Every structure is written in C-alpha cells, then in structure tokens.
Amino acid sequence: MTDSTDTDSTRRRMVAAALGLGGTLVALSAAQAAECPADRGTNAEGIEGPKEGKGVTDAVLTTLDLGAEKVRLRGYQLRLRRLVVQPGGEVPVHSHASRPALIYIAEGEMTEFKNICAVPILHRAGEATPEDHRVVHWWRNTGRVPAVILSADVFGTGEDPHMM
C-alpha cells in the first residue's frame, strides 16, 4: 500500500515537470517564430520588392574598426544601427552576400520577404534573426505602430554606408 503523501509528492513532481516542459516548448516556439516554416523553404524565383526605402530612419549608433582588433579584418567595421520604420514603411530589397548581420526587433513588428522562404515571415518585438550570405530580402512594417530595429553588421569600408 502506498502512502498518500508519496502519491501527492509524485503528482506534484509530475505536474511541475509537465509545466516546465510546456514552458520550454513555448520558449522554443517563440524563439523559432521568426523562422521560415520547414515545409515553406526556398523561393527559387528570387525576390521582388521596393527598390527604395519608405518611412525609414537609419542612425548609426557606433562602429568598431575590425582591422585594429585581433581578428585583423582590415577594411571592415562592426556597425550597430537603429532603424525606425513607420507603419506601412519599407526597407528596400538588399543582399547580405558580403554583409552578414544580426537583427533584433526592439519594438513593434515587421514582415520580412526573403529569397530563402516562400512565405513572408512575421517578426515581433523581442525576436532576433540572422542575415547571412544567402539572404536577399526586404521588410515592411505591417503593424500599427513604428517598429524599432537594431541591426549589427560586418560592413566593408568600401561599401555604400547607406545600404540597408
């Protein structure tokens, strides 16, 4: 015969484990919310979108000369920018062939149209996404409030400093 105290304790542990697992799954799904769905991969046709920005302000917050650092990437900077995109605003089509970046949505939401995904991707505040050499894309603020984006990229000093 089992002691009811042991049974209650076991039940509490099982409930706690289930809640922990549920929380982990929610966190994982939130972390991957900005990913292209596995069954909706590459858009082999390429990407069409606006050629110029609309409703976007772009401010360079700081840069770091990577040629002077241990990595010795002469001619490159690590750059941090803050972009504010008004509702309906657009970041034009651009490539990351030579400019890898990490994007963090600080406020609002943005929809990304990307060559490696056949469907648009909704990015919400608190989400981050990498932009590697394969990415050609553009963004639109489909929300009702301005979106604030932090962009950290490795930027060649010979490149156009205004490229998105």
Mean pLDDT of 3-25: 47
Work out whether the CA dihedral 147, 148, 151, 156 comes out positive or negative.
positive
β strands within 52-140, DSSP E: 54-65, 76-95, 101-107, 109-114, 121-124, 128-131, 136-140
Virtual torsion, Cα 122, 113, 150, 25, nearest 10 deg: 40
Mean pLDDT of 16-33: 41
Distance CA 87, CA 79 (A): 25
Confidence of residue 48 (pLDDT cuts 50, 70, 90): confident
pLDDT in tens, 54-78: 999 999 999 999 999 999 999 999 9
Q: What's the whole-model pTM score?
A: 0.72
CATH class of 54-156: mainly beta
CA distances from 17 to 11, 45, 49, 125, 151 (A): 10, 46, 47, 29, 37
Is the pLDDT at 137 greater than 90, yes or no?
A: yes
Helices (H), 2-161: 4-31
65: β partners = 77
